[in-house]
């Protein structure tokens, strides 16, 4: 046991194994070491420990014995047990940080990491993201200048993680392996945010275009089916069929047309479901040319053609 000369406090304990079999005596450093550390106001802890122990096996063998009452011409044998050193077992450990309820009680050595996160393309600082150490609870939010500070870190190899979740970029994450020395260290973390946003924008555009293509194809099938139905047997269908039926009831002229993506109905994309008198029909066509239909846009930027029905009533009816 080694003590502090001034305070008589224990520093470390060294021990050795005794009484080992002959097979293990060729190695003289079987034993270990235990170091102690005082925690102010909290007693003591074992800050370091190491042990080297022999692993010994017992092997039985037979050998010729001397004397005894063996038969003439026979050799008497006996069983002998030998101890054999098979291998060494070494273990050890070191306490780097001791905490209680999240409060730091003691640390062998700590590091402080400060830095700034910038976009690798524009070199502009990023704000609103989060920087942390992978596999730990160490996290720090970036300030308005992209700076962060992580305290009470264990020195050594770590993985630094930047997440853009707080910027609404839930899918963006950047991992960088760093070696953090003791004391204070400052670094600049460059992340390819601009290129990632551009790639994500392209992916989103491709997905939207694919969705729009599907919607257009389905709508064109619907238009062809509705526009090819014989006028004599035509009747409103779909979710607005009842309102449409009421609207066309009693109308002198009923025209069905295909509104384009500007909301206009070209003359060559219209037909009469109910023609009526010639004068009324011409007036209905003139009204159709002036008609502005609400553009159907189920997805932003994806405008679709649509079937429309225009009932025309003659004034006085």
Cα 41 to Cα 8, 10, 34: the distances in Å are: 17, 16, 21
Judge whether 103 lies within some domain.
no
Q: What is the distance, to the nearest Å, from the Cα of residue 311 to the centroid of all Cα atoms in its chain?
A: 56
Q: What is the mean pLDDT of the chain?
A: 80
- Token pair in block for residue 243: 């309102």
Q: Are residues 220 and 169 in the same domain?
A: no
pLDDT score recorded for residue 91: 92
Q: Are residues 8 and 85 in the same domain?
A: yes
Q: What is the mean pLDDT of residues 72-94?
A: 75
Residue 242: give the domain boundaries. 200-312
Judge whether 298 lies within some domain.
yes
d(CA 292, CA 37): 85
d(CA 1, CA 264): 98
Q: Choose the final residue of a domain: 191, 215, 234.
A: 191
pLDDT digits over 129-151, tens only? 888 888 888 889 888 888 999 98
Q: What is the mean pLDDT of residues 119-136?
A: 82
pLDDT score recorded for residue 240: 57
Identify which of 41, 42, 47 has the alpha carbon closest to the alpha carbon of residue 12.
Answer: 47
CATH code of 164's domain: 2.60.40.1120
pTM attached to this predicted model: 0.38
Q: How many domains does the chain have?
A: 3
pLDDT score recorded for residue 264: 92
Judge whether 8 lies within some domain.
yes
Q: What is the mean pLDDT of residues 269-297?
A: 88
Q: Are residues 181 and 211 in the same domain?
A: no
pLDDT digits over 187-241, tens only? 888 877 665 555 555 556 677 788 888 888 888 888 888 888 888 777 776 655 6
64 has a pLDDT exceeding 70: no
Q: Are residues 207 and 308 in the same domain?
A: yes
Judge whether 104 lies within some domain.
no
pLDDT score recorded for residue 34: 92
């Amino acid at each position: 046991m080694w003590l502090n000369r001034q305070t008589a406090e224990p520093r470390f304990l060294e021990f050795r194994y005794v009484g080992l079999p002959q097979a293990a005596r060729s190695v003289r450093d079987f034993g270990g070491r235990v170091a102690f550390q005082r925690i102010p106001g909290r007693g003591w802890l074992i800050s370091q420990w190491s042990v080297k122990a022999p692993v010994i096996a017992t092997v039985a063998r037979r050998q010729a014995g001397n004397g005894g009452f063996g038969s003439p011409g026979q050799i008497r044998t006996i069983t002998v047990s030998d101890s054999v050193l098979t291998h060494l077992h070494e273990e050890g450990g070191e306490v780097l940080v001791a905490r209680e309820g999240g409060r730091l009680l003691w640390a062998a050595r700590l590091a402080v990491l400060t830095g700034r996160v910038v976009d690798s393309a524009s070199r502009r600082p990023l704000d609103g993201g989060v920087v942390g150490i992978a596999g730990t609870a160490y996290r720090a939010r970036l300030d308005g200048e992209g700076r962060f500070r992580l305290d009470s870190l264990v020195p050594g190899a770590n993985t630094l993680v930047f997440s853009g979740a707080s910027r609404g970029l839930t899918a963006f994450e950047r991992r960088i392996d760093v070696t953090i020395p003791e004391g204070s260290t400052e670094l600049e973390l460059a992340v390819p945010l601009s290129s990632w946003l551009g790639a994500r924008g392209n992916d989103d555009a491709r997905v939207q275009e694919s969705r729009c293509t599907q919607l257009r194809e389905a709508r064109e099938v619907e238009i062809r089916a509705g526009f090819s139905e014989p006028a004599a047997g035509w009747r409103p269908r779909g979710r607005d069929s009842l309102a449409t039926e009421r609207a066309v009831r009693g109308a002198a002229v009923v025209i069905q047309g295909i509104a384009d993506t500007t909301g206009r109905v070209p003359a060559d994309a219209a037909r009469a479901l109910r023609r009526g008198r010639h004068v009324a029909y011409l007036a209905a066509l003139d009204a159709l040319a002036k008609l502005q239909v609400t553009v159907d846009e189920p997805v932003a930027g994806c405008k679709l053609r649509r079937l429309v029905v225009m009932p025309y009533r003659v004034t006085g009816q």
